[in-house]
């Protein structure tokens, strides 16, 4: 089972991101379960959503405490919430920011963790360009597909189509595609460095 935890703030589409990820995984024949951390759905409040992916029925109903991947939609949460709690040693981390891990004050994480599992992505800027709104969720899913290989970019597009009207989906798919390319490039640079 592969477990993803998504952190952000109310209004950033955190719950929708988990739902789109589950739709993407389903479209590739996987079992998947997405659910929010219920309660604090106020605009701006910290929100967590979860997505499990497996090849057999998912029966467990508890929140994800040991994620295989963390998607962080809002870097202002970094020093407010214990975002990295339970992160698996080989886990993936994708942060929506135009800053580096050093600039974010995450030197410890960067030093101790596998470098090919850590990526920053300016998802909000990419969303502004392609969606016209600072809604980073679709771009982060594109980046997640590139970083983890758990799902394809095509599946991400299917997931986006499942949640949005065709017109809005098109912009989000463009954002996811751009983010996918951005993360791939980051990883290639890292591999050749």
Partner 1 sequence: MLSQIEGSKAVADAIALCRPEVICAYPISPQTHIVEGLSALVKSGKLAGCEYVNVESEFAAMSVAIGASAAGARAYTATASQGLLYMVEAVYNASGLGLPIVMTVANRAIGSPINIWNDHTDTMSQRDCGWIQLYAETNQEAADLHIQAFKLAEELSLPVMVCMDGFILTHAYERVDMPTQEQVDAYLPAFEPRQVLDPAAPISIGAMVGPEAFTEVRFLAHHKQMQALDEIPGIATEFQEIFGRDSGGLVRPYRTEDAETVIVALGSVLGTIKDVVDERREAGEKIGVLGITSFRPFPMLAIRGVLRHAQRVIILEKALAIGLGGIVSDNVRNALSGITLKGNTVIAGLGGRAITKVSLHKLFDEARADRLERLVFLDMDYDLVQREIERTKQKRRSGSAAENILRDVGVVAARPA
Q: Could you list the residues that contact partner 1 (CB under 8 A)?
A: 5, 7, 18-19, 22-23, 26-27, 31-40, 45-46, 48, 57-65, 80-83, 85-86, 162
Measured from the Cβ of residue 114, the count of other Cβ atoms closer than 10 Å reads 11
Q: Select 2 or 182, whichever has its Cβ closest to partner 1.
A: 2
- Cβ atoms of 52 and 86 closer than 8 Å: no
CB of 177 to partner 1, least distance (A): 22
CB of 178 to partner 1, least distance (A): 25
Q: Among 25, 41, 33, which Cα is nearest to 61's? A: 33
Q: Select 17 or 176, whichever has its Cβ closest to partner 1.
A: 17
- Cβ atoms of 87 and 69 closer than 8 Å: no
CB of 115 to partner 1, least distance (A): 24
Using CA atoms, how far apart are residues 164 and 152, in angstroms rounded to an integer? 19
- Cβ atoms of 94 and 147 closer than 8 Å: yes
Q: Among 147, 123, 138, which Cα is nearest to 68's? A: 147
CB of 123 to partner 1, least distance (A): 20
Q: Select 9 or 128, whichever has its Cβ closest to partner 1.
A: 9
Q: Select 30 or 117, whichever has its Cβ closest to partner 1.
A: 30
């Amino acid at each position: 089972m592969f477990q993803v935890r998504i952190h952000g703030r109310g209004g950033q589409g955190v719950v929708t991101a988990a739902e789109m990820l589950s739709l993407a995984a389903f479209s590739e024949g996987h079992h998947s379960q997405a659910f929010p951390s219920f309660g604090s759905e106020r605009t701006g409040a910290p929100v967590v959503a979860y997505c499990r992916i497996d090849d057999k029925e998912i029966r467990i109903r508890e929140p994800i405490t040991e994620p295989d991947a963390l998607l962080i939609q809002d870097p202002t949460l970094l020093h407010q919430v214990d975002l990295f709690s339970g992160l698996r040693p080989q886990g993936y981390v994708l942060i929506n920011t135009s800053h580096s891990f050093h600039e974010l004050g995450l030197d410890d994480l960067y030093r101790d963790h596998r470098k090919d599992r850590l990526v920053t992505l300016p998802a909000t800027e990419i969303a502004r360009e392609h969606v016209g709104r600072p809604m980073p969720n679709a771009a982060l899913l594109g980046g997640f597909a590139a970083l983890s290989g758990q799902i394809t970019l095509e599946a991400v597009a299917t997931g986006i189509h499942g949640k949005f009207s065709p017109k809005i989906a098109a912009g989000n798919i463009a954002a996811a595609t751009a983010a996918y390319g951005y993360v791939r490039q980051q990883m290639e640079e890292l591999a050749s460095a």
